[in-house]
Chain A
């Protein structure tokens, strides 16, 4: 496959940045999108040019690092995949592909296609945990009965990898799908009940302080989420938040 890539280049967070055209040739349809970028980078290095900076780690769809906005969609045109799982067979020979970093005020660009997503870490620190005594008397989690439906739904929410595709896809840069997944995974389990009130209030407060936008229920986040986190999570978080506000 021969392709034209229009890639966002930005030297650092203060640079204005611009799209730069890169022609690539002899790309195998079986390559992953990141492997295609590897080929381009090798070519750039051989020419003595600055390679394109992009995030990647596991390359098997679970680390959530590969935050690329490809042809106007987070992680590209395929569904239920991260960028490392996106294959070049999703494109046609001769295509022009736009590659941009995830855009949100709360995800500032560090360099080229790499964005700073530590705002997600700060939201997690605000309440995305349960306190467990680990002094040797810890109760085995499996000893507490949980009904199958709640256990499955909690697990579904816990599959969120925090990639930020929800924020990138949302026209408002809202992080509600991410936060709601983290709230849901604990709200559905008995272990999460003790800190339930503080958790949802603190995580939403931190989310707002980070500068994410307001959810208007467009559903773009749900469609683009590589792990299929549902809008049901957001509805659950809304209920949890209102319940917590009435208590607090």
Chain B
């Protein structure tokens, strides 16, 4: 088992495992965001639970960060290695004849998702870390000195989606996420060796996942922009 990451097949497997983890996380993130559209109080309660539960904060959150970092770093490492495997390019190359645009441009869709994630972290994650672990306020209240002021999460979410530029940026980010998933979902299964009688159905499910989840995120962003 040692040195599996030194082999091309092992690296594929590791990329796929991190992709599975991130795709499961995405569903969980979407489900919580959907609560903000359905019921602001429940959204506040779940957000507070997620933001203060030690298992999520000290175990799951670091695993998630490692998963995200690993997926991006390994993606770029593989791209550099793959570029080195063809030092002279074709003068004429008809990639559209045998593969999809999404499959050939995972590095670019991934790069845009990375830019989007940096903005997303600056918008939500870093302020949370600042409030909870630097200022030391784990109350989750709008006014930490007033227990009646209510939880702050829904209000903060709505406030973030006031500027049109941010909503537009998020929509573009989710379009690139969709393009990435359109290839990535089925590719992850192929990488772990799953290619059988269920593959056709899995590809259909993957396409639905790749379109519906990002579309859902877009609708949530637009909902909060137009329902201030």
Contacts and interface: CB of A to CB of B under 8 A. Distances in A.
Interface string B32-52: 000000000000000000000
A173 interface: yes
Contact of A241 (B7, B88, B106, B194): B7
A62 interface: no
A173 B89 CA distance: 11
A133 to B, nearest CB: 31
Contacts of A223: 97-99
A105 B81 CA distance: 11
Interface in B38-91: 78, 81-82, 84-91
Contacts of A236: 193, 195
Nearest to A230: B195
A239 B186 CA distance: 16
B228 interface: no
B12 to A, nearest CB: 6
A231 B103 CA distance: 14
Interface in A175-203: 176
B104 A171 contact: yes
A234 B98 contact: no
Interface in B96-152: 97-100, 103-104, 106
A229 interface: no
A172 B99 contact: no
B227 interface: no
Contacts of B78: 214, 216
A232 interface: yes
B13 interface: yes
B91 A98 contact: yes
A106 B82 CA distance: 12
* 5 nearest A-B residue pairs (beta carbon): A72-B94, A213-B85, A235-B195, A239-B193, A172-B82
25 contacts: A19-B91, A71-B92, A72-B92, A77-B97, A171-B82, A171-B99, A204-B7, A205-B7, A207-B8, A212-B85, A213-B85, A213-B86, A215-B12, A215-B191, A216-B106, A216-B187, A217-B103, A217-B186, A217-B191, A232-B195, A238-B191, A238-B193, A242-B13, A242-B192, A248-B1
